């Protein structure tokens, strides 16, 4: 069952495994309409994970900074809709973690190939920080680096595997975190990659 990691953070091992096929089909449908791309950091370097979004808002980064946008800057069209299946999974996970009123309007989808990583950061571009972030891992496992409230705080390593769901809310909402370089490997049906869906209340 749900495992409390710390204040406001709950790990649900394998919670999304039974939804694997629907989630992968959903990701492929989103990517057909809004292709995965490597965004530029404000400093001008391409991120190593590729990203896309679905929902009313999508997270973007470029030379002007980080923000949420209603339209995909690459296509000029609204981001693909967040399906009921995606939303229901995230709302149910948040509810089981004690967040009754989660109303996600954005789903950022990260695609990691072996070697891709995400450096330590906080997620603070959202308007309502009382709402949690729900993270769903699919495919290859990753070493999740979990820090504290300051960038220099020590980090814990937590392995996130296929189907794991983590709800980050409360005092954990603004903790620094990252992903260590993905190790090589392959996963049946998914291949040599990891997807992470992060459901957010952005606007």
Interacting residue ranges for ligand MD5, rule: CB under 6 A = 108, 110, 118, 123, 133, 135, 146, 168, 172-173, 175, 177, 179, 196, 198
Question: Which of ligand MD5, Fe ion, none sits in contact with 146, Cβ below 5 to 8 A by type?
Answer: ligand MD5
Site string for Fe ion, 96-135 (x = CB under 5 A): ---------------------------x------------
CA distance readout (Å), 112 to 109, 115, 170? 10, 8, 27
* Contact call for residues 27 and 109 (beta carbons, < 8 A): yes
In the complex, the smallest distance separating the C-beta of residue 191 from ligand MD5, rounded to whole angstroms, is 17
142: Cβ–Cβ under 8 A, 6 or more apart, which residues?
A: 112, 159, 160, 179, 180, 182, 194, 196
For residues 157 and 160, give the distance between their C-alpha atoms in angstroms, rounded to a whole number.
10
In the complex, the smallest distance separating the C-beta of residue 88 from Fe ion, rounded to whole angstroms, is 22
Give 123 or 126: the residue with its C-beta nearer to Fe ion: 123
In the complex, the smallest distance separating the C-beta of residue 8 from ligand MD5, rounded to whole angstroms, is 8
* Contact call for residues 132 and 8 (beta carbons, < 8 A): yes
Residues that bind Fe ion (CB under 5 A): 123
């Amino acid at each position: 069952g749900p495992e409390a990691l710390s204040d406001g953070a709950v790990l649900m091992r394998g919670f999304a495994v039974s939804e694997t096929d629907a989630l992968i089909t959903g990701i492929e449908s989103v990517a057909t309409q809004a292709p995965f791309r490597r965004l530029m950091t404000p400093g001008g370097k391409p991120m190593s994970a590729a990203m896309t979004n679905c929902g009313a808002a999508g997270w973007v980064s470029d030379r002007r900074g980080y923000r949420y946008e209603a339209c995909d800057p690459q296509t000029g069209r609204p981001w693909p809709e967040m399906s009921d299946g995606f939303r229901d999974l995230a709302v149910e996970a948040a509810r089981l973690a004690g967040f009754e009123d989660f109303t996600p309007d954005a789903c950022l989808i990260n695609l990691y190939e072996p070697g891709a990583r995400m450096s330590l950061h906080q997620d603070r571009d959202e308007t309502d920080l009382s709402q949690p972030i729900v993270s769903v891992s699919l495919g290859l496992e990753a070493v999740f680096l979990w820090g504290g409230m300051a960038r220099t705080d020590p980090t814990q390593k937590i392995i996130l595997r296929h189907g794991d769901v983590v709800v980050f809310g409360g005092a954990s909402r603004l903790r620094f975190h990252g992903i260590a370089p993905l190790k090589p490997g392959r996963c049946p049906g998914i291949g040599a990659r990891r997807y992470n869906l992060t459901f957010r209340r952005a606007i």
